[in-house]
Chains A and B, each alone.
Chain A
Amino acid sequence: MPDIKDSVGNAKGQVQDIAMVQMMLKVIKDAKGDPYLKVNYSGEWNDQTKDAIIRFQKDHKLLDPPAAAAKAGAPPPPAEKEGIVDPKSATFKELNGALPVDYKDAIILPGAKTVYFPGSSADAKASSAKLKGELQLDMKFRVKAADFIDQFYNQTKIVLSTPAKTGMRRDFQGQMNVISNAGPGESNHQFGQAADIGFGGLKWVDGDGTFKTDTSWLDLGADTAAKKAYMTPAKAAEFFKAHHDLAFGAKVGLSPTGLAGDDTHVQAYSDNSLSYSKSLTTLLNIDGEMKWEGAKHVKNQQNKYKSDFGLAGKTYEIGTAKQIFGGNATISKPDLVEALKASAKDLSKMVAFKDFTFVKNAVKALKPVPGKLPPPITGASVAEKDITGADLQLLQKAAKQDWSKADQNWKQWVPVK
């Protein structure tokens, strides 16, 4: 049953109480079937609200002198103040009595202007359990995130949930398909350290008294036909404030992303505590055939990466995460020739180089000497003309292979500053 904490009237009252009383007056109809409140409910006091309260009080004979009521045989009710709704007043009791049954469970957040309905505790438990059982998330993180869902439900009766599989762990390929500055391996979503936890399914009451069941991002109606979202950004911000206050407070201890507006996102640590490129290269170097380092890139601020091609020498810039994982590493022939010349490695024994044209030709040209091991095939005398387009593709494939291994090894990722 709807509740208010303080008196509403005379241009006074707490925002959430004003909104609740207005909503009730919006959905309760008079004898002609018209709502008492002629304008949308807004949480802001106005003359229409005052008129609606008085009209409701008059229609329900709440302003009649107590003596008159007593004469009719009933015990005299407390005198009602015209245009004012007190929490324990007969007017509020009458409002609750007249409220259509579909609105009986309506509640509102402190300081908010949007009335909503509680979700079921079973749904909250299921949502929390689903997150806790999500093995693609880091264990400590998922326990904390599930606890957040539980606590938020206890506090607000709102069931939070993850919107879709992209809101959970995203593998490297999944990261290729989102609009993001972070490439594959550069988002904490790849390492089970982040989740998008939103309001999907929240049922709330629009200004005109109609129900809306919203999306995770509270943007229902945000399409060309409906012309923008039903819930205004300001209203959505009230819900997200409650979400953030709890998620990022001491009780739960999750961290936000640095950017305002990524409101459903929660993560295990602060963005300030790590470098995503250093963290990724650390992971790549655990099991990669090549040595990897980060390099800055200014175009749309995407990181670039350097590789030694597995030749154990200098590293060379070969592209962004999207380019490398996409199999399109920008390997330059002069860089590769320089790296090959400087290396003493036997290319015929290296997966990345054994099928290079000049390596295969050198192997064919070897004349075996009985009792002696063949000499190593090195790039000491290689020239740019010896490197074919197909060779570069082989190396692009080998570079991607290291990133695919890192994707498989995601549980070994650690934040590195």
Chain B
Amino acid sequence: MSPLTVGLIIGILVQACNGRQSVTQNTGNAAQTGNAATSSVLVSFPADPSSALQYQLAIDPCVQEKCPVVVRLTNGNRVLDSAKLEWNSTTQESSPEDVDAQWGGADPLDSSARLKAFATGEEASYLSMLARLVKVTADRVGLLVTQRAGWDEVKHHHDLFLIDGEKLRHDWSGTEGAGPTWSATAVVPGVGKAEQVLFFSGFRYPTEDEPDHLSVWKVAWDPAQQKIVESAVGDSVSLRLLSFGGYPNVAKARAARDNANSCVPPVLWVLNSSFYKGAPGKVLLGTITARPELVAAVLAAAQKCSPPLRGSTLAYEEAQ
């Protein structure tokens, strides 16, 4: 088990055993004091293997039901820097939430719920946060935070922070636009001992004849630019296309998806087969994964659908 994994587990266990920690917050600058409002710390992680710096995910005090969610860089009790995340919570109260295959915080096939998010609010005020470490280089650790919010439509916002001295550096964010979108970030092995983030971004077209789209991007440290860069996945990750068959048109694929929704864990997509080498039919029903070892469990679940759904995988390769 890597030190990072240990850190992650410790972070989760600390939160789970002790509940939220309360700290006195010095906003923005360590030299400032005086803001004695109580912040609710959800989880802390080691930010630098060679120092006592810590990343913290916290919910600041509420003003008119707006409670800023922040990432902070701390050293002991001192807050060195902080960054406000995209969406506010409506409360400082949170409860643990399973991160399943549809949550958007792991590989699209990962329904293990080994990660726990911090959920706040209910119905339209629901907001959940997931933080995990990413070892972007051998000696540099980033904090990846995903916010998931919404009721009728669920949206995600992803941010990746690094440290620069005693400052936070916001290096990347993944956003969703309007409409029936879905996205996820998954931490996967990168070059050497480093890790990288895969950003899955999709859109489920509600129109009658338009297939969905699902794209995957690599979010990784670029040594030349000395920063995190989003780019095509290329050969750096072995992706698989999980297909539950080819269909002659979008309507038939959608009908198959409607049948599978309650029995297959991941979000399924009706994709244009011509985009992928070797894909069956005009459109296919399936998804993309970087975790081939999880395919068997999903195929087994699909066999229990009524009628059973048969699936297979092929190497993910975009057609030219």
A contact set with B: CB distance below 8 Å: 163-167, 176-182, 186-189, 194, 196, 198, 215-219, 222-225, 227, 229, 233, 236, 240, 257-265, 271-272, 275-277, 296, 298-301, 303, 322, 326, 328
What's the Cα separation between A164 and B96 when bound, in Å? 36
Is the beta-carbon distance between B152 and A179 smaller than 8 angstroms?
Answer: no
Q: Are A181 and B154 in contact (CB under 8 A)?
A: yes
Per-residue CB proximity of B240-278 to A under 8 Å, as 1/0?
A: 000000000000001001100110000100000001000
Of chain A, the residue at the smallest CB distance from B125 is A258
Chain A residue, CB-CB nearest to B128: A301
* Contact among A179, A189, A263, A301 for B102, CB-based, below 8 A: A179
In-complex Cβ contact of A258 among B96, B151, B203, B207 (8 A): B151
Residue numbers in B under 8 Å from A176 (CB-CB) = 258, 261-262
Alpha-carbon separation in the docked complex, A300 to B116 (Å): 11
Contact assessment for B178 and A236 in the assembled complex, using a CB-CB cutoff below 8 Å:
yes
Known A-B contacts A177-B261, A189-B152; the reply to A299 vs B178 at CB < 8 A is: no
Question: A219 to B177, Cβ gap below 8 A?
Answer: yes
The answer to whether the Cβ of B95 comes within 8 Å of any Cβ in the partner chain is yes
List B residues 93-129 near A (Cβ within 8 Å). 95-98, 100, 102-103, 119, 121-126, 128
Q: Are the C-beta atoms of B177 and A217 separated by less than 8 Å? A: yes
Cα(A383)–Cα(B175), bound, Å? 54
Return chain B residues, CB-CB under 8 Å to A164: 206-208
Chain A hits for B153, CB < 8 A: 179-180, 257, 259, 261-262, 265
- Asked if residues A166 and B206 are in contact (CB atoms below 8 Å), the reply is yes
**Chain B residues closer than 8 Å to A179, beta-carbon distance:** 102, 153-154, 180, 182, 204, 267
Contacting pair A217 B179 (CB below 8 A): yes
18 interchain pairs, CB-CB under 8 A: A163-B179, A164-B208, A177-B254, A186-B151, A217-B177, A217-B203, A218-B178, A224-B318, A263-B179, A265-B152, A271-B123, A271-B125, A276-B151, A298-B97, A300-B97, A300-B128, A301-B97, A328-B262
Whether B207 lies near A163 (C-beta < 8 A) is yes
Whether B150 and A259, one on each chain, are in contact in the complex, defined by CB atoms closer than 8 angstroms, is yes
Additional 7 contacts, C-beta under 8 A, given A194-B152, A257-B150, A257-B151:
A196-B179, A217-B179, A222-B213, A224-B213, A258-B150, A259-B153, A263-B177
Q: How distant is B302 from chain A, measured CB to nearest CB, in Å?
A: 16
Q: Which residues of A sit under 8 angstroms from B171, Cβ to Cβ? A: none
A264–B177 CA distance with the chains assembled, in angstroms? 11
How does the 8 Å CB contact mask read for B150-189 relative to A, with 1 for contact and 0 for none? 1111110000000000000000000111111110000000
Contacts of B97 in A (CB 8 A): 298-301
> Nearest chain-A residue to B204 (Cβ)?
A179
Q: Total A-B pairs in contact (CB under 8 Å)?
A: 156
A272 to B121 CA separation, bound complex (whole angstroms): 12
**Chain B residues positioned under 8 Å from A180 (CB to CB):** 151-154
Enumerate chain A residues within 8 angstroms of B318, measured Cβ to Cβ.
224-225
Smallest CB gap from A297: residue in B: B122
Q: Which of A163, A236, A271, A300 contacts B98 (CB 8 A)?
A: A300
Beyond A180-B154, A261-B155, is A223–B215 a contact (Cβ under 8 Å)? yes
B206 touches which of A163, A265, A296 (Cβ 8 Å) = A163
The reply to whether A236 and B262 form a contact with Cβ atoms under 8 Å apart is no
- Measured between C-beta atoms, what is the minimum distance from A327 to chain B in Å? 9
Contact between B257 and A219 (Cβ–Cβ < 8 Å)?
no
Min C-beta distance of B195 to chain A, whole Å: 24
A178–B182 Cα distance when bound, in Å, is 11
Nearest-CB residue, chain B, relative to A165: B206
User: What's the nearest-Cβ distance from chain B to residue A117, in Å?
Assistant: 21
Sort A-B residue pairs by CB-CB distance and give the 9 closest, nearest first: A217-B179, A271-B124, A263-B178, A166-B206, A258-B124, A223-B213, A217-B178, A259-B150, A164-B206
For B275, what are the chain A residues with a Cβ–Cβ distance below 8 Å? Answer: 223-225
Contacts A187-B152, A222-B203 given; indicate if A178 touches B180 (C-beta within 8 A): yes
Min CB distance B69 to A, Å, is: 13
Given A176-B261, A259-B153, A261-B176, residue A301 in contact with residue B124 (CB < 8 A): no
Task: Choose from B122, B177, B213, B254 the contact partner of A301 (Cβ within 8 Å).
Answer: B122
Residues of chain A lying within 8 A (CB to CB) of residue B258: 176-177
Query: Which of B203, B206, B267 contacts A167, CB < 8 Å?
Result: B206
Q: Which of chain A's residues have a CB closer than 8 A to the CB of B213?
A: 222-224
Min distance, Cβ A263 to any Cβ of chain B, angstroms = 4
Nearest-Cβ distance from residue A8 to partner chain B, whole angstroms: 30
CB B315 to nearest CB in A, in angstroms, measures: 15
Complex contact A262–B177 (CB within 8 A) = no
A residues near B214, Cβ cutoff 8 Å: 224
- A167: B residues at CB distance < 8 A: 206
Contact B151 A219 (CB under 8 A): no
Provide the bound-state CA to CA distance between A163 and B179, in Å.
10
With both chains docked as a complex, state the minimum distance between the C-beta of A319 and any C-beta of chain B, in angstroms.
12
What's the least CB distance linking B75 to chain A, in Å?
A: 33
Pick from B95, B100, B123, B149: contact of A298, CB under 8 Å: B95
Q: Which residue of A lies closest to B123 (CB)?
A: A276
Structural contact, A301 and B126, CB atoms closer than 8 A: yes
- For the complex, give the distance between the alpha carbons of A177 and B124 in Å: 19
A271 near B151: Cβ-Cβ < 8 Å: yes
**A224 x B215 contact (CB < 8 A):** yes
A182 to B254, CA, bound (A): 20
